[in-house]
Amino acid sequence: HFYPRDMNHTKGGLVIFTANSHPSSRELSKRIAERLGVELGKVQVYQEANRETRVQIQESVRGKDVFVIQTVSKDVNTTIMEMLIMVYACRTSCARSITGVLPYFPYSKQCKMRKRGSIVSKLIASMMCKAGLTHLITMDLHQKEIQGFFNIPVDNLRASPFLLQYIQEEIPDYRNAVIVAKSPASAKRAQSFAERLRLGIAVIHGEAQDAESDQVDGRHSPPTVKTTGAIHPSMEIPLLIPKEKPPITVVGDVGGRIAIIVDDIIDDVDSFVAAAETLKERGAYKIYVMATHGILSSDAPRFIEESAIDEVVVTNTIPHELQKLQCPKIKTADISMILSEAIRRIHNGESMSYLFRNIGVDD
């Protein structure tokens, strides 16, 4: 067991701040601090009348190991500024190290080059490093490669053990379940879950696919008309036929089974609702959705409430109290334990591999 007095064995003290002015986000920080047996550090984070963010640290952080916990609220850009200013304030107050604890890394969906867009998560990573972050703890990055955007150590913890535990404890007849990927993109994750639960998998593919399909990417939509003159005559680019999506098919049998759809983020629920309809048609008698990050923006809770989905299970990486009030189908798995353990291990200079001991390659 861990006692606060163990803190004194390390060089610096430990200070935990929450960088969020949003009240519902303090919940996770409080849980983490309680588990570590420390008080939350005294700090004021607020918006001035002109919407500027102001951070006032109200205790000394000189020579301390500082952990800044930041959960993403609805106003994601304020969230980022709060984090940057907080980290910079700790850095200019001579903190020994500054570890960011961002259970959900904002802008992580924008991590691929789109037509005339930019790789925004790389920009956010650079900003955080520039502000003075020396280490990052996060959970289930949308793409593992985002780790490489940082020039500091990144611990990408996984929520899958908690979701697997939920399935085993809260779904009474889970042995009659099949793990479903709502698009081929999440098939690896589904396979990883299925192997550890010793269940089968099913993959939905075809027309109704999510926005992350290749269509939005300029490289997959070549010009349909031949443009001569613009290029050298001997260099004619061959014309590709635009991809046609086949009608929806479900690879794998879901008839008379519980279907458990797994994904990393649930935000825009259209694709989940459509997948649930498809599974119902194919004879699934109960439909669960398991995801790490429940962003659930705008009307998502209402759509879930009206859909064929029986239960949506997300973790508390992102506060979603309001969404739960709108939709009783939303359930929460608590992941504060693994975050507090990660903080304790980093602070005491212990190995982190224990936290990854049951993690599949494809989680």
Residues 108 and 46 in one domain: yes
Cα 108 from Cα 128, distance rounded (Å) = 14
- Domain hosting residue 118, numbered range: 14-157
Residues 18 and 142 in one domain: yes
Strands ordered across the beta sheet of 286-294: 249-251, 200-205, 177-181, 258-266, 286-294, 311-315, 330-333
Residues 172 and 151 in one domain: no
Cβ atoms of residues 164 and 193 within 8 Å? yes
Please tell me the predicted confidence (pLDDT) of residue 166.
94
Cα 209 from Cα 271, distance rounded (Å) = 7
Instruction: Report which residue type is found at 363.
Output: D
The tokens of 193 are what?
Answer: 């879950």
Tell me how many domains the chain contains: 2
- To the nearest 5 percent, what fractions of the chain are helix, strand and coil? 35, 20, 40
Cα 333 from Cα 319, distance rounded (Å) = 12
Assigned domain for 8 exists = no
Domain final residue, candidates 157, 172, 192 = 157
CA quadruple 275, 281, 283, 285: dihedral positive or negative?
A: positive
Closest CA to 206 of 284, 286, 274: 274
Assigned domain for 98 exists = yes
The tokens of 34 are what?
Answer: 């309680």
CA distance readout (Å), 283 to 71, 215, 252? 39, 31, 12
Cβ atoms of residues 320 and 296 within 8 Å? yes
Assigned domain for 143 exists = yes
The tokens of 140 are what?
Answer: 């289930």
Residues 143 and 198 in one domain: no
CATH number at residue 67: 3.40.50.2020
Please tell me the predicted confidence (pLDDT) of residue 182.
92
Q: What is the residue-level pLDDT of the chain in tens, covering all 363 positions?
A: 544 444 444 456 999 999 988 887 888 999 999 999 999 999 999 999 999 999 999 999 999 999 999 999 888 999 999 999 999 999 999 999 999 999 999 999 999 998 899 999 999 999 999 999 999 999 999 999 999 999 999 999 999 999 999 999 998 899 999 999 999 989 999 999 999 999 999 999 887 544 455 555 555 555 555 555 555 667 788 877 777 778 888 988 989 999 999 999 999 899 999 999 999 999 899 999 999 999 998 889 999 999 889 999 999 999 988 889 999 999 999 999 999 999 999 999 999 988 888 787 777
Closest CA to 27 of 93, 64, 71: 71
Assigned domain for 311 exists = yes
Please tell me the predicted confidence (pLDDT) of residue 7.
46
Assigned domain for 348 exists = no
Cβ atoms of residues 102 and 155 within 8 Å? no
Residues 116 and 28 in one domain: yes
Closest CA to 133 of 100, 104, 102: 100
Assigned domain for 221 exists = no
CA quadruple 337, 339, 342, 347: dihedral positive or negative?
A: negative
Residues 166 and 103 in one domain: no
Residues 197 and 292 in one domain: yes
The tokens of 225 are what?
Answer: 């008309």
Please tell me the predicted confidence (pLDDT) of residue 212.
52
Residues 98 and 27 in one domain: yes
229 φψ region: left (φ > 0), alpha (ψ -120 to 50), beta (else): left
Domain final residue, candidates 157, 188, 216 = 157
Residues 185 and 131 in one domain: no
Residues 67 and 200 in one domain: no
The tokens of 174 are what?
Answer: 């889970």
DSSP string, 158-173: --HHHHHHHHHHH-TT
Buried (b) or exposed (e) across 336-359, using 16+ Cβ within 10 A?
bebbbbbbbbbbeeeeeeebeeeb
CA atoms within 13 A on the CB side of 324: 14
Phi, psi (rounded to 5 degrees) for 324:
-70, -30
Residues 153 and 164 in one domain: no
Residues 141 and 178 in one domain: no
Contacts by 80-84, CB closer than 8 A, 24 or more apart: 80/106, 80/124, 80/127, 81/53, 82/19, 82/20, 82/21, 82/45, 82/53, 82/55, 83/19, 83/128, 83/131, 84/127, 84/128, 84/131
Contacts of residue 96, Cβ cutoff 8 Å, sequence gap at least 6: 11, 12, 63, 64, 65, 66
Assigned domain for 218 exists = no
Closest CA to 275 of 303, 248, 244: 248
Tokens 């099913």 sit on residue:
202
Instruction: Identify the H or E element spanning 68.
Output: strand 65-69
pTM as predicted? 0.86
Assigned domain for 234 exists = no
